[in-house]
Chains A and B, each alone.
Chain A
């Protein structure tokens, strides 16, 4: 059964292409929401298995949307993955891919990286395949 993914980002081109890339794997059903104000309602309607959420969007901060979803009893179990252009990749790795308890993907992220991030949520026993690439062992 396909996993339902809610993609919240104001970049229309990006959301269209990511939806294309994910759906052509036949593993995912993606719903796009380009209006951050409608993100919570979209989640309530769609009941996704995971949410890809942009952090820096016009008018609404991605963190507030995440907080609203966590506050909804019917949605609070849904994994949220942040996408952001304001953080460089090694810095995400330094935090083991998490910020404030949420996994984080730095833009630009390849389709493969997005899929890995999603899969690590669905199968937590085998997390983050090659996140050690740019970090220093022991530090």
Chain B
């Protein structure tokens, strides 16, 4: 049945299925004479034997006559095409059924030739083109299959849109994202049909810009907001689609769902923020700890001072008592001798003795004050009045030393709960210290100020932070300033030490400042002493004031 001609592997195998004995030798001649090197012809005389041969394979081209003994018309073509859809088919027909043959081209035939008009060159060209065209088609369909495989199976969402951002095509992943069973349902719709305007608007703007400029958008992160309230995140690239002339005809894009990644990212951000907060808390705790430590040091300093004063206080009371008894005996002796009509010299001696006795007595008295500073009798008093009274008592000294007094007492001070006598003792002590410091100077000036205010932490000297006040407490500040010799730096740390004095012997016991400060602190006040930049000393006293009850 099969006529096998000499052939090489490179030759295309052609199966001719036709029942007209006259045509076959002709074709054989044509083929062998012109392109014998390219084609090897086999022949079947009816459809059944032709199909049997095709099932074996290795046929590169089929020439089939529509009119065969066992088949007629389009049916003949269809049966061959069904069996070997990938093999190009050229239909041979008679002039009578040319119209029918033309229809087979639409069904998939590569060409049709009318046998009565068969021209060897035409036949040859048709056969060559049929093979090539079929090869190109196969390659194309393979490519299309690959593309389909990709589109249908990738989890990335892929779409094509027209110039108005309407979907032309979308893959199942995107359809699933839209909760559509069939991707076709989205064709002709746009993002506005599937997302809220918030996202659709942005996406639309991106796409229109791509269409206008031809510039792609690569790797942007999109927040997608859905009508049902869902929020998803996508990593998206969008590009223009161009026709062969390079004109932009639409856009296409590919998106990857990164909602999960975004979630982890947010968790990471949260964790980072928590870490940062923890770090800040630790740092703050450290700062607090440092502040507490500084406060403890200040307190410790105050406690040491207090302990010094206290131990000396008990000692002082004992000393005072033991000194006063002998003083009493001496005084009695002086009294006795004074009554025995002494001469002038003896009288002078007795006067000196009386003076010495008074000095000794005043020291003993200071010692007793010091040990007794614990007992206060406080009443709400006008601090200005206490100061005025104390100034009155030292007025003689001021005049004698030619010291100018500058008074700046704030009117209408709120009362301070204080022990009048003790507080007066404090002021007299401060004033006398100032006067002593200015004795040698030319133009001495004693300045006394009172000012109401509220406690704020900056007011405290770092060495002795007052624990008496809370921020915002109503206070009154008293300042006693002189322009005298000031306190040598080396002595600043010792001025509150009991018995520390720089005054000549007999002029001070070294108890004035410790006693004064101890009295002030028992009034829940503070005393700070500094050298003034302009020379001299500034003493600052602060007391809590009592609001005057409303009438």
Contact = CB atoms under 8 A, between A and B. Distances in A.
A37 interface: no
Interface of B: 317, 320-333, 335-336, 339, 357, 361, 365, 368-369, 372, 389, 420-421, 424
Given A14-B325, A108-B361, A139 B421 contact: yes
Contacts of B372: 91
B321 A136 contact: no
A110 B331 contact: yes
A18 interface: yes
A88 B328 contact: no
Contacts of A17: 329, 332-333, 335-336
A123 interface: no
A119 interface: no
Given A88-B368, A107-B324, 16 more contacts: A13-B333, A17-B333, A21-B332, A21-B335, A56-B321, A85-B322, A85-B328, A86-B317, A86-B368, A88-B365, A107-B325, A108-B361, A111-B335, A136-B389, A136-B421, A139-B420
Nearest to A56: B321
Nearest to B324: A85
A17 B338 CA distance: 12
A94 interface: yes
B421 A94 contact: yes
Contacts of B326: 11
18 contacts: A11-B326, A11-B329, A13-B332, A17-B335, A18-B332, A21-B335, A24-B339, A85-B320, A86-B320, A86-B321, A87-B368, A88-B369, A89-B365, A94-B421, A108-B331, A109-B328, A110-B331, A136-B421
Contacts of A109: 328, 331
A52 B368 CA distance: 23
A43 B332 CA distance: 23
Contacts of A107: 324-325, 327-328
Most chain B beta carbons < 10 A, residue from A94, A108, A109: A108
B429 to A, nearest CB: 15
Contacts of A88: 365, 368-369
Contacts of A21: 332, 335-336, 339
A99 interface: no
Contacts of A85: 320-325, 328
Contacts of A13: 329, 332-333
A111 B368 contact: no
A20 interface: yes
A108 B421 contact: no
A90 interface: yes
A111 B369 contact: no
A110 B335 contact: yes
Interface in A1-59: 11, 13-14, 17-18, 20-21, 24, 56
B273 to A, nearest CB: 65
Contacts of B369: 88
Nearest to B340: A24
Contact of B328 (A14, A87, A139): A14
A68 to B, nearest CB: 23
Contact of B336 (A20, A91, A112, A136): A20
Interface in A78-135: 83, 85-91, 94, 107-112
A85 B361 CA distance: 10
A14 B421 contact: no
A94 B422 CA distance: 12
B369 to A, nearest CB: 7
Contact of A90 (B322, B389, B421): B421
Nearest to B371: A86
A139 to B, nearest CB: 5
B324 A14 contact: no
Contacts of B321: 56, 85-86
A104 to B, nearest CB: 14
Contacts of A136: 389, 420-421, 424
Most chain A beta carbons < 10 A, residue from B329, B339, B421: B329
Contacts of A20: 332, 336
B113 to A, nearest CB: 144
Given A86-B321, A136-B424, A11 B328 contact: yes
Contacts of B421: 90, 94, 136, 139
B136 to A, nearest CB: 125
B332 to A, nearest CB: 3
B538 to A, nearest CB: 27
A136 B324 CA distance: 25
Contacts of B336: 17, 20-21, 24, 111
A21 B339 CA distance: 8
A136 B385 CA distance: 12
A87 B68 CA distance: 154
A101 to B, nearest CB: 20
Nearest to B333: A17
A95 B159 CA distance: 107
A31 B373 CA distance: 38
A109 B334 CA distance: 12
